[in-house]
Structure 1
């Protein structure tokens, strides 16, 4: 089962659980941190395609540029601030590598395949790293102690 499918199933389960625990309350009554977690857990469609999710996510994007911003939390889901990974994993047999470029100290991230000859590591091949379309993620705690990773973007 793919990660996207699992996240979609999780989002459905999370929404069903939340609804069953708060039958008299509407989804809009959830605190902001839990609104965000519920919205980013949805994968197909993403939060962009769910009318309820657009206002809290746009509020989040606008708040992120303000001084003193801190992520709203959802204690029920066991989340704090999300993680961020800009790039997809390197293909099998390749590892992350960085090359310094120019005098400005900037670096380029790429995937490389190496061999070792006479104790020296030699680069055989390199390829550019693919940027994630959804670089942000929450690891959302499940019953039983495991967690599900829900990837999302913060594009307007």
Structure 2
């Protein structure tokens, strides 16, 4: 029954290579093959209930430092597990900063934004020190002088900070968070 449900899942996932359905090379009963089938689902690895148990087992095993499972007959590669606890909203990049509490993560705007004129001095040097803007400077904007800088924001904290990069059958690599 479990194999039938996973094969049904496969027929829904139009991006799944046909050899995963055939059973001649990879078997849906194998835990490693179940993981690969579920990870190849464009709707996400746990979109279907049948994928919950094998994917949850994967997260537990990776969290213990075990390697990614294998599936014979499938062109599959995974990276070593990684850890990335922070991320930034669109238009910002993650950067490290030395602060009073040591090295800290911060998000810095990828393009200059208008900021308070108080941050720029009249002679072109840096004005008032501000921990919320990097590199304040005067710049011509729409024919007038505007104080511009790179705003800093707090990074967001991931609920699932661990990841592996997975490539299935030479397709684009996808990052799987757990």
Scaled to the shorter chain, the TM-score interval is 0.5 to 0.7
Q: Which runs of 4+ in 1 moved over 6 A?
A: 132-135
TM-score, normalised relative to structure 2: 0.52
Which structure 2 residue ranges, 5 or more long, are not aligned? 1-12, 113-123, 126-133, 137-148
Conserved 8 A contact 2:20-2:27: no
Distance 1:18 1:80 in 2: 18
Tell me the C-alpha RMSD between the 2 structures.
Answer: 3.7
Which structure 1 residue ranges, 5 or more long, are not aligned? 1-10
Cα distance 1:14–1:71, how it changes in 2: closer, same or farther (>3 A)? same
Aligned to 2:172: 148
Cα distance 1:82–1:125, how it changes in 2: closer, same or farther (>3 A)? same
Aligned to 2:87: 87
Distance 1:42 1:55 in 2: 15
Name the one with the larger strand percent: 2
Name the one with the larger helix percent: 1
Q: Report whether the alignment pairs 1:42 with 2:41.
A: yes
Aligned length: 129
Conserved 8 A contact 1:95-1:112: yes
Structure whose alpha-carbon radius of gyration is higher: 2
Conserved 8 A contact 2:76-2:166: no
Q: After the TM superposition, which residues 1-156 of structure 1 pair with which residues of structure 2 at under 5 Å, given as runs?
A: 11-14=13-16, 16-20=18-22, 22=23, 27=28, 29-30=29-30, 32-44=31-43, 46-66=44-64, 69-74=66-71, 76-81=74-79, 84=82, 87=87, 91=91, 95-103=93-101, 105-113=102-110, 122=135, 124-128=149-153, 129=155, 136=163, 137-142=165-170, 147-154=171-178
